[in-house]
A and B are shown apart, each in its own frame.
Chain A
Amino acid sequence: MNADTQKLSSLPPEAAEPKANAGAFPIWIIVALAVVAYAGTVRFDENDGGFSAQVFAPYVSTKQLEDFLPKDPERIAFLEGRKLYTQNCAACHQASGLGSAGQFPPLAGSDWVKTEGANRIIRLVLHGIQGPIKVNGLDFNNAMVPWKDNMSDQQIASVISYVRRNKDWDHSFSAVTSEQVKKIRDTEKSRIAPWSAEELLKTSDK
């Protein structure tokens, strides 16, 4: 200790350890803080997106992820219809629905699709069609295969609904239910040959 004290003498004298004067929070700072905090909360609220679980909650299973998918029945039917259309119809009628000139008639804007009721087009899809047909004033002469053995009532309803309600084609006609399809399928069970345009035009669209 003695040696240390001796050495310490070479240091200048030291002030006592610092202390703080007593004092309170300045109240105006608290008030200013509250005002700024309010503004911040409002701004925060504008940017939180309602804390949607689809955005912020991590999913832990495929089931949970599927639950996040849209549940709107119309949307589901539309997606299903688009899938069936792409697989089965787009080869001839094209994804655009415009067909190909002189070969396959268009569906987008077609006077055969734009009918009030969908019964005629249901028949057409069920049994197919063959021979000359006039679509939007243009003549076509080709054959479309029947779909009654390859598609269920529900699938036919979906694909026709897709065609009749496709917003990209400016269509917003009534949708088709599987009951409608089933009814026509049952009443015309005995039919074997595909329709001709002339024959089909005699039936009612409703």
Chain B
Amino acid sequence: MSLSTQTDSRANAPATSAEIDASCRAPVLFLFTSAALWLVAAAAIGLIASLKMHQPLLLVRGAELTYGRVLAAASNAFLFGFAAQAILGVTLWMLSRLGGTPLVAPLVALLGAVVWNLAVTAGVGGILAGDSSGYEGFEFPGYAVPALLIAYTFIALCALATYFQRRERESYVSQWYLLAALFALPWAYLTVHSLLLVDPVRGVAQAAINLWAVAVLREIWLGGSALAVIFYLVPKLLNRPLHNRGYALLGFWMLLILGGWTGLYEGAPLPLWMVKLGGFASLLMIFPLFVVAWNLHATANGQVVLGAECRVLRFAGFGLFAYLTATLVMAMNPLVSAALQFTHYTAAVKHVAFYGAFSMAMFAAIYHIVPRLAGTDWPCENPMKWHFTLASAGVLLVALPLAVGGWKQGMGLLDPSVDFNQISRTALMPIRVSTLGEILWLAGSLLLVGNLVRLLARRFCPCAALAAWVESNGGAR
């Protein structure tokens, strides 16, 4: 937007942080706020799905709220309402900051974000109305997809233009991961849309494509974005350079090459060579996992990352350790898949990856970035502290019971002397505990929205009286 500043004498000098933040303000704040609102929506719908696992007679009046629909609606609201917008917000801001250049065409990005929200609303509504495409992770009905892609193109073009206008020539690790994620989503989505919905391929290739695309979303899109945030925040907040660029390069390319393959898990209904290759890719993921862990360990150089004093770093640290745990457990998948593939264990692992690793990293990013855009720090740290407590307890209360319960379930299914109904009954208690976890997560998400609204009202609300009202009702300062 501020082309005049680029043509003057300091054309190649990096822009100041204040200039960059001002250029990102409208689109990124809009993306983060709507991401937080979708997070609440996803958590609320997800809570219904969780309740239905042990209260099957709840909300059974119409087809809209049957288990199959609410589960898909919750997962898609999370992926495309929350995750996509949080990632895009981080991408726009971080590519500008790390490139030392203001965001290109912020109003185009803002327009894209508005259209994106409309498309996601149509998609989630379509799923609840029964128009789901039926492919896991990509359940949005076909009519929501063109708008999604157009909106995404708007935002992605701004991000790419910003990257190519960067004044810091050498790119940083976070930029690689964010650019990979920027391409991974449309790549996976267009593949699924064109090969499974528009002109479907035949037979076993359908399952293979769906599993591959889900893995691309999980490993490269969500995982890569989480790593981008962690690789940014850890050196930044500890004020130390990243230990080794070569390690990061190895980890990055291995994730990119292996990511999609890991979806073809051992036990999937596919030709044997595919699942063997998938299992092998999962195992090889130990290498990028190791270099990421080692690189950050050496960067921290003894300073605490997990449970750090700094709230933002605490979120990032939780995300990092959840990422390492989830990836390690998934690498072990070929060993346990035969016993556990049809149990709650898989749901537990996915929960750690999506909520423990990815979401916590995004919360760290939001808590770090928003005050800079608003130009004022969080009014008080307590709600942030509570959000961390609720969110981490929520993740653990869902993941741990389901993992243990799923393990028991798997062992029971392998034992021919155990009655199937008995196995289902023993799985009930872990599911009830996981519902409690979902409630805590929902409460944490509401706190995030509350925090954002308070800060934004304080900073931007034109009506001082309303601002004062929000302030006085927002709890003790």
Chain A residues at the B interface, C-beta cutoff of 8 Å: 1, 4-5, 7-8, 10-12, 14-15, 17-26, 29, 32-33, 36-37, 40, 43-44, 47-49, 51, 55-56, 58
Which segment of B234-242, B382-390, B425-433 sits at the interface?
B234-242
- Which residues of B217-241 have CB atoms within 8 Å of chain A's CB atoms? 231-232, 235-237, 239, 241
Q: Which 3 A-B pairs have the closest CB atoms?
A: A7-B375, A23-B244, A18-B235
For the A-B complex with A7-B374, A49-B273 known, give 9 more contacts whose Cβ atoms are closer than 8 Å: A4-B22, A7-B459, A10-B375, A10-B376, A11-B377, A17-B168, A20-B172, A40-B284, A49-B272
A4 contacts B280, CB within 8 Å? no
Contact of A8 among B203, B244, B375 (CB under 8 A): B375
Q: Can you report 5 residue pairs joining A to B where beta carbons are below 8 Å apart? A: A7-B459, A8-B18, A15-B237, A15-B239, A44-B277
How many angstroms between the C-alpha atoms of A50 and B162 in the bound complex?
Answer: 49
CB < 8 Å: which of A18, A36, A48, A58 contacts B236? A18
Interface size class of chain B, counting residues whose CB lies under 8 Å from the partner chain: 35 or more
Q: Bound state CA distance, A25 and B203, in angstroms?
A: 41
Contacts of B271 in A (CB 8 A): 49, 55-56
Is A21 a contact of B243 with CB atoms below 8 Å?
yes
The reply to whether A25 and B250 form a contact with Cβ atoms under 8 Å apart is yes
Contact of B244 among A12, A21, A44, A58 (CB under 8 A): A21
User: How far apart are the CA atoms of A17 and B232 in the complex, in Å?
Assistant: 8
Q: Is the CB of A58 within 8 A of B202?
A: yes
Closest to B273 in A: A48
B273 neighbours in A (Cβ, 8 Å): 44, 47-49, 51
A135 to chain B minimum Cβ distance, whole angstroms, is 49
B interface residue numbers (CB < 8 A to A): 17-18, 21-22, 97-98, 100, 168, 170, 172-174, 202-203, 205, 231-232, 235-237, 239, 241-250, 271-273, 276-277, 280, 283-284, 287, 290-291, 371-372, 374-377, 459
B250 and A19 contact, CB distance less than 8 A: no
Minimal beta-carbon separation of B263 from chain A (angstroms):
17
Q: Is the CB of A20 within 8 A of B376?
A: no
**How far does the Cβ of A18 sit from chain B's closest Cβ, in whole Å?**
4
* Cβ–Cβ < 8 Å partners of B174 in chain A: 18
**Contact A4/B18 with A19-B241, A33-B287 known, Cβ cut-off 8 Å:** yes
Min CB gap B25→A, angstroms: 9
A11-B372, A19-B242, A29-B291 known; A5-B203 Cβ under 8 A? no
Complex contact B376–A11 (CB within 8 A): yes
- Complex alpha-carbon distance, A56 and B271, angstroms: 8
The residues of A that contact B291 with a CB separation of less than 8 Å are 26, 29
Q: In the complex the two chains form, what is the Cα distance from A47 to B100 in whole Å?
A: 51
Among B173, B205, B243, B273, max chain A CB count under 10 A is at B273
Whether the pair A23, B172 counts as a contact (CB closer than 8 A) is: no
A8, A18, A29, A48: the one contacting B250 at CB < 8 Å is A29
Q: Which of A1, A4, A58 has the most CB of B within 10 A?
A: A4
Determine the distance from Cα of A153 to Cα of B280 in the docked complex, in whole angstroms: 58
Contact of A44 with B280 at beta-carbon distance under 8 Å, contacts A7-B375, A49-B272 already known: yes
Q: Which of B236, B272, B287 contacts A29 (CB 8 A)?
A: B287
Min CB distance B164 to A, Å, is 18
In this complex, the member of A8, A15, A37, A55 whose beta carbon has the largest number of chain B beta carbons within 10 angstroms is A8
Assess the A20–B242 pair: CB atoms within 8 A.
yes
Residue numbers in A under 8 Å from B374 (CB-CB): 7
Beta-carbon contact of B236 and A17 below 8 Å: yes
Chain B residues, Cβ within 8 Å of A24: 246
